[in-house]
A = this chain, B = another copy of it.
Amino acid sequence: MEHGGDLLTYKDEYKGELIDFSSNINPLGRPEGLDKAIMDDFKQVEAYPDIQYRELKESLAGYLNCETNNVLLGNGAVEIINNFIMFADRVVVFKPSFSEYELRARVHKKDLLIISYLEDFSLRLDVLKKSLKRGDLLILGNPNNPSGLRIEESILVEVYKCVKDADAFLLLDEAFYEFCPEDYDSIELFKEDGYKNVGIIRAATKFFALPGLRLGYACASENIVKMIQTIELPWSINSVANTAGQTIFSDKDYIKASKEYIQIEREYLLKELKTIKGIQAYKSDTNFILIKLVDYDEEEIFHKLLKKGILVRKCSSFKELGENHIRIAVKDREKNSILIQALKKFI
């Protein structure tokens, strides 16, 4: 299965250091002070992490503004997705979306209903209403990958109603949440309802620039948390990720600066991309942008960029997109303009 960030596979095609636009990581890098916290606590690797991760859950409950017994953890968001899928009778996904939703359903031999997004990547509520049934697990990226679009609040409320009416379950994959405009917070939105029939997954991976640490987390009702815990692997968060999770979420300056930075650079990229004929950049709510190569195919552009040291994400592994889309991450201004100049040259 193809994923972003696979630099090693392409190391022979470009000898220097690649600029990685294929994985969607905060360009400001990891929070300052993290390294010291990790080193100060590194001796902890000689002990098992607390099997209940009590301090980490407290830290997360503060950050997410929920109770500690609403918090689930995973070795990356994908492990939490996997654990929810194990309880589903059927998995319902919209495509194109993160390939692991479908893959993990297949691994666990679950029935699978695949619905296509509309051409503008909006949800098909009519199909959803007709199709959802008891025991379904509906997984939605919010924002979705690769479209970069967030579900509007009013639409999400409708989806949720639909899910509750069917006695199904809604799993929101919000791994890119912090990069989005502050419109609504799903954890607040579903709090009054006690997270009945809904789980919200987030991760330190992208926003805190720590994909290597593998720290995913989720908010769900106490009952669902207890249910998932019966099947969790023990000690799935390693002690370094455990330490990081007790440090990064309180770094308010970093969080604010990152949000502002991403917004400015996203707007810069979208504005510049609009001026390039022969490609069409989609609107994005987050830190990556999907681009349709109207007059080109992805292989051509991919390898031209690679020869210049730029790695983008080919999107043909999202089958619904065909072979003429690429996805780029929002990076720092210097790198973003290198990409823009390269695209202007090749297109």
Contact = CB atoms under 8 A, between A and B. Distances in A.
B231 A3 contact: no
Interface string A34-49: 0100110010111111
Contact of A234 (B23, B86, B100): B100
Contact of A25 (B44, B46, B50, B239): B46
A47 B212 contact: yes
A46 B206 CA distance: 9
A78 B47 contact: no
A188 to B, nearest CB: 30
Contact of A213 (B30, B52, B212, B239): B239
A46 B29 contact: yes
Nearest to A104: B233
Interface string A1-43: 1011111100000000000100101000110000100110010
Contact of A46 (B1, B4, B211): B211
A76 interface: yes
Contacts of A3: 48, 51, 234
- How many copies of the chain does the oligomer comprise? 2
Interface of A is mostly: loop
Interface string A49-74: 11110100000000000000000000
A30 B239 CA distance: 14
A178 interface: no
A159 interface: no
A196 B3 CA distance: 32
Contacts of A214: 235-236, 238
Given A50-B8, A78-B233, A210 B20 contact: no
Nearest to A26: B46
A78 B239 CA distance: 16
A75 B5 contact: no
A49 B212 contact: yes
A167 to B, nearest CB: 22
A1 B30 CA distance: 35
Interface string A247-262: 0000000000000000
Given A79-B236, A213-B240, 18 more contacts: A3-B48, A3-B234, A7-B47, A8-B54, A23-B47, A23-B48, A39-B39, A44-B212, A46-B210, A75-B233, A78-B234, A79-B233, A107-B231, A211-B235, A212-B242, A214-B236, A214-B238, A238-B241
